[in-house]
Chains A and B, each alone.
Chain A
Amino acid sequence: MRRIFAYFISLQLLFSGGSLIAQDTVMFPLKIRVGFDIAGPGIYMTDRNNLSLEGYISYDGNEKRTYVIEAGYLNYKYSQYNYDYKSKGVFTRIGVDFNLLKPEMSLGKYWAGVGLRYGLSVFNSETPLFKYENYWGTVTSSIPSRTRTGHFLEIAPGVRTELFRNFSMGWTIRLKLLISGGGGKDLRPIYFPGYGNGGNRTTAGFSYFITWNIPYKIKTVITKPEVVEEETEEEAGNADTSLQLRP
């Protein structure tokens, strides 16, 4: 019976691998974050026809995964030789950020990873004037204001770092895929909140966030030591032998 018990322990040691090897731990602060995009107001300083305001709230589920809700407002005007266009409305995105940094490197201060988002946009779009010219002459027409709903998906890689205590900055690239722009196949919106150029199936955007971090919990994260495989087996073997020799 004693011998069976010894074998049972040695098998446990063999399969549990590093669980009995000395482990490092990291005190990882889980945080709630509130952030504001400064890229949109920055663009507005140079282009008064494009006002985009955006912010987010996020919640660390664990050291790797953060749940995010973003919301924003867009007031966009565009004019070129053959048409004028206006779009105004709000959007929200919900999704998850995945931190690709190891906890011992991230420490709740640094983030480099990728986010996945679903976006919903409710907006009014209007074409007050457009011109069409062909053999029969020039036709001037307009498309009246209508409320539309757009849907899109995003992959958002980026980085963020804590500059001061509980204040972070970072940027995110937004690679967007249009599901629906809300105008049917003939009257796709030229530009709509949260997505951008609705004439394109894919588009890209950029956000630069200033973030206030609110730690709400400290999590003890076990970091796995990087042990060479042969050493692990050897150690397991030694442990096995030593245990078997015990009476």
Chain B
Amino acid sequence: MKRFPSLLPLLLITAFTAFAISCSPEACFEETNSFLKASFYSNSTKKQLAPDSITLTGVNQPAKKIYDKAKGVQPALFPLDASAGSCTFEIRINGMTDTIQFRYTSFPHLISKECGYTFYHSLDTFFYSMNAIDYIYKSSNSITTANEENIRIFY
């Protein structure tokens, strides 16, 4: 009869813990959007340098600016269109305008039961004009909700 009383509190604690885990409130606290992350670099020094001013707009979405003369943006987050295989952005860096087109494939990804699904993308290629931009370097194909750099924009 000695062993049972010592087991009982352990079992009750386990039961309470399991109950608390299984009945935790269902709220989404995770990032649900995946962005293409672009870091800005100075082409002269090859070091990270945020532009003094950046304006970013999706082509065909002129009323909706992603950044509007924003300062100190590093990195810039480009939302991709999951319903299309490419999308084009107009980017104005320190008063000079360029366009960048990204081509990619999209696929669904479960974030969690609470948050549901998002789209991840795999970056295939990109095209850009070279007014403010000197060149763009691709550092990762994988466009997810993680904080991982995808391209470097040298200007």
Contact = CB atoms under 8 A, between A and B. Distances in A.
A136 B14 contact: no
A101 B4 CA distance: 7
A158 B116 contact: no
B132 interface: no
Contact of A136 (B8, B10, B87): B87
Given A100-B3, A135-B61, A135-B66, A187 B109 contact: yes
Contact of B18 (A137, A159, A175, A191): A175
A206 B84 CA distance: 45
Contacts of A158: 11
B82 A134 contact: yes
Contacts of B7: 100, 112
Given A134-B33, A190-B110, A204 B82 contact: no
Interface in A184-229: 186-188, 190-191, 196-197, 199-200, 203-206
A136 B34 CA distance: 13
Interface size class of B (residues with CB under 8 A): 35 or more
Contacts of B87: 136
Contacts of B14: 157, 173, 175
B114 to A, nearest CB: 8
Interface string B44-85: 000000000000001001001010000000000001111110
A131 B117 CA distance: 8
Contacts of B19: 204, 206
A139 B120 CA distance: 13
A109 to B, nearest CB: 13
Contacts of B112: 199-200
- Binding site secondary structure of chain A: strand
A46 interface: no
A242 interface: no
B82 A132 contact: yes
A199 B11 CA distance: 26
Given A136-B80, A203-B21, 18 more contacts: A101-B4, A105-B3, A112-B7, A112-B8, A130-B116, A132-B119, A134-B79, A134-B82, A135-B66, A136-B82, A157-B11, A158-B11, A173-B14, A188-B110, A190-B110, A204-B21, A204-B22, A206-B22
14 contacts: A80-B116, A112-B11, A131-B116, A136-B87, A141-B108, A143-B117, A158-B11, A190-B110, A199-B112, A200-B113, A203-B22, A204-B18, A205-B18, A206-B15
